[in-house]
C-alpha cells in the first residue's frame, strides 16, 4: 500500500485569514438545529413548497 501524500494547501492571504478569524461562530442552538433531522426535513419541505409556488405562478 502506498502512503498518501501530505495535503498541502496554498498559503492563505493575510486578509482572508483575518476575515475568517473575525467571523462569528454559530451558537449551540444553531449547531443543534443543523444536526436535528426532523427540523431539516421540515425545512426541506418548506423550501420545496416555496419552489412549487414559484413554479406554479410562472405557468399561469
Question: What are 1-57's pLDDT values in tens digits?
Answer: 677 778 777 778 888 888 888 989 999 999 999 999 999 999 999 999 999 999 999
The overall pTM is greater than 0.85: no
Q: How far is CA 29 from CA 9, 23, 35, 36, in A?
A: 32, 17, 10, 10
Radius of gyration of the chain (CA): 21
pLDDT of 43 reads 97
* All cell numbers assigned to 48: 420545496
pLDDT of 56 reads 94
pLDDT of 20 reads 87
Length of the chain: 60
pLDDT of 38 reads 97
Amino acid at each position: 500500500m502506498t502512503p498518501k501524500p501530505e495535503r498541502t494547501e496554498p498559503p492563505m492571504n493575510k486578509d482572508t485569514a483575518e476575515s475568517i478569524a473575525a467571523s462569528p461562530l454559530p451558537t449551540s442552538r444553531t449547531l443543534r438545529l443543523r444536526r436535528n433531522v426532523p427540523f431539516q426535513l421540515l425545512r426541506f419541505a418548506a423550501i420545496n413548497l416555496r419552489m412549487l409556488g414559484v413554479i406554479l405562478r410562472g405557468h399561469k
